[in-house]
Structures are given as C-alpha cells and as structure tokens.
C-alpha cells in the first residue's frame, strides 16, 4: 500500500468549499507564507518563537491536507514544550517533498482524490 503524505480528500473538499479560482489563490498564499517561514526556521533560536512559527505553518498545512508535515510540526512543538532539542532538517525535507507532490498532482490536472 502506498504511503499517502497528503490528504487528497481534504484538497477536494477545500476546492469545493472555495471554488477553483479561490483555491488557486489559497494555494499561492499558503506556499508564499510557508516558504517564508521554512526559510527562516534554521535561524530561529528562541524556542517560543520557533514553536509559534511551527504552530502557524501546521495550521495552514492542515487546511491543505499535508498530513506528514503536520505530524512533524506537532512532534517538534511537543519536543520544544518539553525543553528537548529539535532537528529541523527532516521537517524542511518533508515540506519540500509535500510541496512537490501537491504541485505535481495539481499542475498535471489529475483528479486529486
């Protein structure tokens, strides 16, 4: 069975809720905002600030069905709350892979469900 890193039913649900044109705008805004946060995460040294950034991107990603990425954000948030060290590399990689998968599927026009 193929591992599904994106909840394609959520993508379809969001598309139905907002319409095709607005979906494109939502996707563009999501990518712009999350790309900015991901780019600055490695320089963020304050655990509280880092947790806030992760919480923000997790909420946005949850809306677009990025399951694996959301899970990693939650795990890192939990580690930060417990005062444990965190490694951001896997999160950055997961975001890049999720983004590529999402854009590939949407741009090729395949049914996402």
78 in a structural domain = yes
Q: What is the pLDDT along the chain (113 residues), one digit of tens a residue?
A: 446 799 999 999 999 999 988 999 999 999 999 999 999 999 999 999 999 999 999 999 999 999 999 999 999 999 999 999 999 999 999 999 999 999 998 888 654 44
112 in a structural domain = no
2 in a structural domain = no
Hey, what's the torsion of the CAs at 7, 12, 13, 16, to 10 degrees?
A: 170
41 in a structural domain = yes
Given this model, what pLDDT does residue 1 score?
Answer: 42
1 in a structural domain = no
Number of independent structural domains in the chain: 1
Given this model, what pLDDT does residue 3 score?
Answer: 61
Residues of the domain holding 21: 8-107
Query: Do residues 36 and 97 make contact, with C-beta atoms less than 8 angstroms apart?
Result: no
3 in a structural domain = no
Q: 60 burial class (0-12, 13-18, 19+ CB within 10 angstroms)?
A: buried
């Amino acid at each position: 069975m193929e591992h599904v890193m994106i909840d394609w039913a959520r993508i379809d649900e969001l598309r139905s809720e907002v319409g095709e044109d607005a979906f494109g705008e939502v996707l563009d805004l999501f990518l712009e905002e999350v790309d900015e946060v991901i780019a600055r995460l490695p320089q963020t040294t304050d655990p509280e600030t880092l947790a806030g950034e992760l919480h923000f991107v997790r909420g946005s990603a949850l809306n677009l069905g990025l399951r694996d990425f959301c899970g990693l954000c939650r795990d890192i948030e939990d580690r930060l709350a417990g005062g444990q060290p965190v490694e951001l590399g896997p999160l950055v990689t997961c975001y890049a892979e999720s983004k590529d998968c999402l854009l590939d599927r949407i741009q090729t026009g395949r049914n996402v469900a």
